[in-house]
A = this chain, B = another copy of it.
């Protein structure tokens, strides 16, 4: 029994599967991979402009990937980070990627996590989070990142999770803008009361 169906990812994601993808040594290479996922998702019209992946920190081996599938899956939980986390846990057969005997894992995401994905990170077991675009970049095209604590980086750091921000930020922000230009659906962009 698994939390995610096999077809949560769009068909094109097979091109990026862990079986095909070689190890990526550097943080920038890993982020380029996550951003490419976000761009393919926009170009293929398969979801919002967000991509994420879980890597083994030391080896750079790809464990899982995710893209935003909120609209396609009719599910507000289907953010790129959530999908990547769930698929990594499914693949390894653990609910804690930071468990004893496992490699260190990291979440690489094309955009700073929203309030939900932020809250999911401590439970996931990843020990490092790398982000590209910022909350300001997402808000600039109309997305709402939710009620995330202002000191979110410190909150994760206190839990032993390293956070690196703004890696290839311009490249990731360009994908957000591409989405806006294509008039992509800004879901849940309800006015705050």
A25 sits at the interface (CB 8 A): no
A188 and B75: CB pair below 8 A? no
Contacts of A159 in B (CB 8 A): 147, 192-193
Q: How many copies of this chain does one complex carry?
A: 2
Closest to A98 in B: B190
Count contacts on A: residues with CB < 8 A to the other chain.
54
Interface code A98-129, partner B: CB below 8 Å = 1, 0 otherwise? 10000000000000001111111011110000
Q: Please give, as numbers and ranges, the residues of chain B lying within 8 Å of A12 by CB-CB distance.
A: none
Residues of A with Cβ closer than 8 Å to B?
A: 1-5, 7-8, 69-78, 82, 85-86, 89-90, 93-96, 98, 114-120, 122-125, 144, 146-149, 152, 155-156, 158-160, 187-188, 190, 192-193
28 A–B contacts, CB within 8 A, in A order: A1-B7, A1-B8, A1-B73, A3-B4, A3-B74, A3-B78, A4-B4, A71-B95, A73-B95, A75-B86, A75-B89, A75-B90, A76-B85, A76-B95, A76-B124, A96-B187, A96-B188, A114-B119, A115-B118, A119-B120, A122-B188, A147-B149, A147-B152, A147-B156, A149-B149, A158-B193, A160-B192, A160-B193
